[in-house]
Amino acid sequence: MKYFAIIGVITFTSLFLFLISSQTSDKASNQQNNQEDIFGMKSAQQDTLPNEEYPFQKSDAEWKEILTSKEYRILRKGGTEFPFTNELNNNKREGIYYCAGCGQQLYSSEHKYDSGSGWPSFWKPIADSLVGEKEDNSFFMTRTEIVCSNCGGHLGHVFDDGPEPTGLRYCMNSAAMKFVEKADLSDHQEN
């Protein structure tokens, strides 16, 4: 058992160092990225949705203009935040989570729970039609990627280890979403 734990630590450390070094070299070539992006876990090479058609369309240049560099890296390049360090993981306020790219409603605080994973987790979206699924074969595993059905932005992944009634865990990136508190919802929906 000790042997497997040592191998796991070595593998994770090697992967972590590789990702940091690849993002560091990316940073040197792209002066628009800010310091927080070096801490992203997934090294993204291309737009997560190159051949898909979504109602809300922007060019790559337009995405870079309207999104922060962290939002762009996650939503458009399929990046991932470190667990337990993101803004919305411990959010316990009532309200709605919207796509940071296009503003579409995604999740309600009613369906949020503490999964212990370090990312905001939900047992279902507000409506199934608000998110789409794609196969993700990164990191030598197969996972189900969750994207916004309106703009195609990468939100996170879904796993089958969540609570009832769905048994699902929608594990999302904070930077991919904007939270609007219940008291402010009527103002937000009017805009």
DSSP SS3 for 10? helix
Residues 6+ apart with CB under 8 A from 118: 82, 83, 84, 85, 86, 89
**DSSP annotation of 174:** G
Token duo for residue 97? 């989570």
Place of tokens 């929608």: 170
Catalytic residue from among 102, 148, 151, 171: 171
Cis? peptide before 163, omega within 30° of 0 = no
What CA–CA distance (Å, rounded) separates 57 from 116? Answer: 35
Q: Is 102 considered catalytic here?
A: no
CA 179, distance to chain mean position in Å, is: 14
**Catalytic (active-site) positions:** 171
